Structure 1
Amino acid sequence: MFNPSRDQARQFLFDTWAKHKQQAALTDLERIAFAVLTRHPEYQPIVDAPERYRDKDYLPEFGETNPFLHMSMHLAIEEQLSIDQPTGVRALYRALCEHSGDEHRAQHEMMDCLAEMIWQAQRSGTGPDGALYLACMRRKAGLDEAG
């Protein structure tokens, strides 16, 4: 899945959960998605009810977290770590793990940095800035010059 639509990304998570429940074999990517789902039991009822949640909009102005976006960001981070892109992200993730004491918490710290990078790119009308992303991670890991 290189650039799935919102519906495709959601369907992938629904299908992964359904295959798990049926004890069917999962692909490599589905195994990663399933691992994300196991770390988020609060989202399991959502992927268990596609007819209810397939078209649901999550509005931040009402304090709603989009579980599909959240899980997709975890998947993006897993991919970044597997290929070390941007270069150095894997080492900074390890530093975040050490700093936070927890791999899942470290990914959430990365997610904040990823969201900031995307917001900055949208705001400035440019592409994502990997250097900004890595600098944010360094700050969060306590590795920046001021930290």
Structure 2
Amino acid sequence: MESFFIVAIDGRKEGLAMLWKSKFDLNLTSFSLNHIVMEVKDGMDDFFFLTSIFGESETHVGSSSWNLTRSLARESRLPWLCFGDFNVITDVDEKWDKLGRSEKQMEAFCEALEDSGLYVIGLRSVIHLDQQPERG
């Protein structure tokens, strides 16, 4: 990609980045260790917001990411596409690992999405990272 914005976390390999081809007109509007918001011009006079989220990995502070999402939703009435890793699931069927997920935590996350006007469109991986492709 020709253009990028990176939020690096000191002393760790983790961080957050937004990468795009320079033919797209993106302008940074806000960022933190857990989000990047870009205003995107679609080539006409229309704009929308594009947000990358990295949710807290520790479940006891996960709600701070959800409150961030609620706050970002209040900042504009423009169309909004939000993507990333919230580190929580909306349904037990999304679970791949053996770790249990709190029903209360999933409900709180779904409530935050609803409060923010967001809908889950979902992505599914074709091959689980632990699976090896079959050889023919």
**Normalization by structure 1: what TM-score?**
0.26
Question: Which structure has the highest helix share of the two?
Answer: 1
Question: Which structure has the highest strand share of the two?
Answer: 2
**Normalization by structure 2: what TM-score?**
0.27
